[in-house]
Amino acid sequence: MAADLRFGYAFPAIRGVQSGREYFASMCPLRLIPKIFLFDEDEAELPADLRAQRTLNRNRIPEIANYLIENRDSYVFSALTASIDAEVEFQPIGEGGEASLVGLLQVPMGAKFIINDGQHRRAAIEAALREAPELGDESIAIVFFIDQGLARCQQMFADLNRHGIRPSKSIGVLYDHRDEMAVLVRRIVLQSSFFKDLVETERSTLSARSRKLFTLSALFQATQDLLKGLDLKDEDEAAALAVEFWEAVADVMPEWQLVKNRKMSSGEVRTDFIHSHGVALHAIGIAGNSLIRQRPKAWKGSLKKFLQIDWARANTKDWEGRVLVGGSVSRTNQSLALTVNKIKTVLGLELGPEEERAERAYRNGREESA
């Protein structure tokens, strides 16, 4: 624990060396984080090239704080990284060997702490403590560097964020055990005889040589909107309905079956048809939700009308300007909405007012360009 001494702070710490410079790793109670690490509002007004920190995006703070509060038994926060703008003294517990690496880091009371990485976590901790002060006794790791000026702080920020890669949406769904929909979609893949070997669970894009037909993230998004607002009593009923729906769709998609039976590659299908792209799968899920709502007892029979749809990319009459732009599949919200309109029209479902307006705008655009 960091002790507030008469003339400064004393952090129990471990000393290390990176690029020839000393640095220190310590633990700090959450309740001290807002008191020690102050966000400089005056610095936020400076031009970016004169700041050691990026400006705080306050819209991110409630989400991070809620994560901390709602998952008190399982949250994980990575270490904060900070520079100390002051002369410090490290007092090891002994001489030589490991004893010389463990001790107390003495920091003057007037020292300025600059967060190089983790300022949104720091702000979220402060917000969470207002609602759940009992979190204050828990701790977070802090890595301290000695401040060597603005240029060094800016370089540290750039280096710390240089190699950070956000995990793919698919692997996020695969590893998420809190999100009920993520759990449900993984269950659907396991229970479905069609999807079992055709869903890419790690990547959110498919290579031309991939055996997989869909990504887990695409199936997640499509299933989420398929089941949205339906009166389902539990996860078992939701999973059963989703499996039944997607397998019924697969039954009326001849090219999907050819991929399943290894008579056609998934790359060929994605090249020649739009129905295996994420935007089309998502549109099918949205249209399926309307179909189930309007025809709860007869929705499966209605899916046979999918056989009337020419899903080929070469069918520019139906798809260019709707989901194709210059022959390439578009993933915009407008493309999604117009694809939903096409599917709902084929299924004989009424379009809502917004959908009607979007369809009129699309048709007027086609007429003007003809």
Rounded to the nearest 10°, the torsion over CA 262, 263, 268, 272 is: -130
Which of 43-52, 245-254, 350-359 comes out lowest in average pLDDT?
Answer: 43-52
Q: Which of 162, 195, 222 is the last residue of a domain?
A: 162
The last residue of one of the domains, among 125, 142, 162, is 162
345-362 residue pLDDT tens: 999 999 999 999 999 998
> Based on the domain organization, do 138 and 206 belong to the same domain?
no
Question: What residue numbers bound the domain in which 76 lies?
Answer: 3-162
Residues 243, 288 within the same domain: yes
Regarding whether 186 and 62 lie in a shared domain, the answer is: no
Question: Roughly how many angstroms between the first and final C-alpha of the chain, as a whole number?
Answer: 73
Is the domain of 149 the same as that of 254? no
Q: Answer yes or no: do 248 and 153 share one domain.
A: no
216: CB partners within 8 A, 6+ apart: 170, 171, 173, 174, 185, 186, 189, 199, 200, 201
Domain end among 143, 162, 181: 162
Same domain, 157 and 234: no
Residue 179 to residue 164: CA distance in whole angstroms: 24
Q: Do 46 and 150 touch, CB atoms closer than 8 A?
A: no
Structure token digits, residue 27: 């633990």
Q: How far apart are CA 106 and CA 323, in angstroms?
A: 62
The pTM is what? Answer: 0.77
Per residue in 150-195, pLDDT (tens digit) is: 677 777 777 777 766 678 899 899 999 889 999 999 999 999 999 9
Are residues 156 and 178 located together in one domain of the fold? no
Distance CA 158, CA 248 (A): 50
Is the CB of residue 14 less than 8 Å from the CB of residue 101? Answer: yes
* Residue 17, strand partner residues: 22
Is residue 201 domain-shared with residue 304, that is, in the same domain? Answer: yes
User: What's the chain's length in residues?
Assistant: 370
DSSP structural state of residue 268: H
